[in-house]
């Protein structure tokens, strides 16, 4: 069995490095996805359709988790003539190979271990040697048919910190203030991280993101509480897990220097699939521009993306609006907004912040996003301080500006208050995913309700499967 790059190395070679040959068990070469019309990497849940009814548990009604920039273009008959059964997926106008199988060999471009019950079914079928599967599977017919193509990702985000009693809790703030306005100003406690992650997985969340908003600065590196949260969560949650907070070059409590790459490695070994970098990305971008747009090779983004690939690195951006009376007043990238400022201004730019929004920097969101893409970031988690905690919907103007500046995927965050806000951001922007937090934590809506709403509006979503 081969997974992701494991499938790719079975072929003769790749555009990723034309000099390095593949193993050559299968004839064919990999191309990079076209980024002129869609985001690259290709990240999210897509199909794996076969000409057979079910091969090694693959079902056309299921969706599987992909994360890659290079692919085997599908040309009908080429692989089949070599004796392979082929499963395909479609990204934009490109049809590519999602999996190949022959006798006791199975290779998947997607990650079955991160594809929920659908992926577990594939793993079980392979381990059981069940190549053909059940040709008249009642379970397959019972699952709601889904459309071909990449789904709209709905991500559940959990802000985690210690409360005043020293317990790890999920919290949520308004403009990043996580303390209650009453009850003595205690840290808002919305539940336990592992239990809530399990709940969102069972509701159909496509990914779960943990943001460590205190970084546990006084803990020995090897005993970081988030490591144990990841270990326990990954035992029962089979979708991608992202962890953010404290991923930087640092010094351990015993004085030992620890690199951002070493910290990220600990998180990956504990069950994380991606790491999210915040304030350090802004500092790195400032240094990038000060050096004349030259890469240093030493930033956390560059270290981690070089070792694990850019799909493993997310940059969490925390911008806020700055209004000006006219564009000439600022050197920054501005927009003409439909939402005037306090003095009727219709021009604004988005200033980046660090330290949880407490400090504003002289850098706009376009400058930061483009610098992070150059350094090797695979995704941008696009927050908005002005929208955080308002339940008034995502900042569509901000999303449009950032999506127009970069080719990597963008995750819309901040402001979601009901399912219609998710439909609006997918319908009116080119965002690749949308994230919710407070509305889920408070029990106002479930992830399933959001996805059902999107499905009713005709958008492609992954339907949660509960049975193998």
Could you count the other beta carbons within 10 Å of the beta carbon of residue 383?
27
Distances (CA, A) of 385 to 218, 345, 356, 371: 27, 19, 10, 21
CA angle 296-297-300, nearest 5°? 110
Q: How far apart are CA 134 and CA 234, in angstroms?
A: 29
Q: Looking at 42, 54, 68, 111, which residue is catalytic? A: 111
For the chain, what's the residue count? 468
**Residue 318 annotated among the catalytic residues of the structure:** yes
Q: Are 110 and 98 in contact (CB under 8 A)?
A: yes
Q: Looking at 113, 174, 249, 400, which residue is catalytic? A: 113
**Residue 157 annotated among the catalytic residues of the structure:** no
**Residue 113 annotated among the catalytic residues of the structure:** yes
Q: Which residues of 37-91 form beta strands (DSSP E)?
A: 42-46, 49-50, 64-68, 70-71, 85-91
Percent helix, percent strand, percent coil in the chain, to nearest 5: 30, 25, 45
The 8-class DSSP code of residue 8 comes to H
Q: Are 464 and 204 in contact (CB under 8 A)?
A: yes
**Residue 219 annotated among the catalytic residues of the structure:** no
Q: Looking at 273, 318, 395, 423, which residue is catalytic? A: 318
Q: Looking at 54, 159, 367, 373, which residue is catalytic? A: 159
Helical pair 447-456 and 193-203, crossing angle rounded to 10 deg: 20
**Residue 111 annotated among the catalytic residues of the structure:** yes
Q: Which residues are designated catalytic?
A: 4, 111, 113, 159, 318
């Amino acid at each position: 069995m081969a997974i992701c790059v494991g499938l790719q190395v079975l072929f003769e070679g790749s555009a990723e490095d034309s000099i390095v040959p593949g193993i050559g068990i299968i004839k064919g070469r990999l191309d990079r996805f076209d980024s002129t019309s869609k985001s690259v990497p290709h990240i999210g849940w897509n199909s794996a359709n076969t000409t057979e009814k079910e091969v090694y548990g693959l079902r056309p009604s299921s969706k599987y988790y992909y994360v890659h920039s290079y692919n085997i273009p599908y040309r009908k008959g080429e692989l089949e003539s070599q004796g392979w059964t082929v499963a395909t997926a479609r990204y934009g106008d490109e049809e590519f190979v999602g999996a190949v199988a022959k006798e006791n060999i199975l290779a998947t471009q997607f990650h079955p271990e991160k594809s929920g019950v659908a992926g577990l079914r594939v793993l079980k079928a392979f381990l059981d040697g069940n190549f053909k599967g059940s040709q008249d599977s009642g379970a397959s017919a019972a699952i709601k048919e889904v459309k071909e193509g990449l789904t709209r990702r709905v991500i559940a985000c959990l802000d985690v910190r210690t409360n005043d009693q020293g317990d790890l809790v999920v919290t949520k703030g308004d403009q990043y203030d996580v303390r209650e306005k009453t009850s003595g100003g205690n840290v808002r406690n919305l539940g336990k991280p592992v239990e809530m992650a399990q709940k969102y997985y069972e509701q159909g969340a496509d990914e779960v993101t943990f943001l460590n908003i205190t970084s546990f600065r006084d803990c020995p590196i090897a005993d970081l509480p988030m490591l144990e949260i990841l270990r326990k969560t990954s035992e029962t949650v089979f979708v991608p897990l992202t962890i953010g907070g404290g991923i930087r070059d640092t010094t351990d409590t015993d004085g030992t220097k620890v690199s951002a790459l070493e910290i990220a490695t600990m998180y990956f070994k504990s069950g994380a699939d991606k790491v999210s970098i915040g304030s350090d990305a802004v500092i790195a971008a400032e240094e990038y521009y000060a050096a004349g747009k030259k890469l240093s090779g030493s930033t956390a983004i560059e270290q981690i993306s070089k070792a694990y690939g850019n799909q493993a690195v997310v940059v969490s951006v925390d911008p806020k609006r700055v209004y000006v009376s006219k564009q000439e007043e600022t050197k920054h990238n501005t927009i003409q907004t439909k939402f005037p400022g306090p003095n009727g201004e219709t021009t604004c730019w988005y200033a980046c912040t660090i330290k949880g929004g407490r400090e504003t920097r002289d850098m706009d969101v376009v400058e930061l996003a483009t610098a992070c893409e150059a350094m090797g970031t695979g995704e941008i988690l696009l927050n908005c301080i002005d929208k955080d905690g308002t339940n008034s919907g995502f900042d569509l103007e901000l999303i449009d500006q950032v999506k127009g500046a970069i080719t990597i995927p963008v995750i819309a965050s901040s402001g979601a208050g009901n399912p219609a806000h998710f439909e609006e951001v997918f319908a009116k922007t080119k965002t690749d995913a949308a994230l919710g937090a407070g509305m889920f934590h408070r029990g106002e809506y479930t992830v399933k309700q959001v996805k059902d709403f999107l499905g009713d509006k005709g958008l492609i979503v992954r339907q949660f499967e509960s049975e193998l």
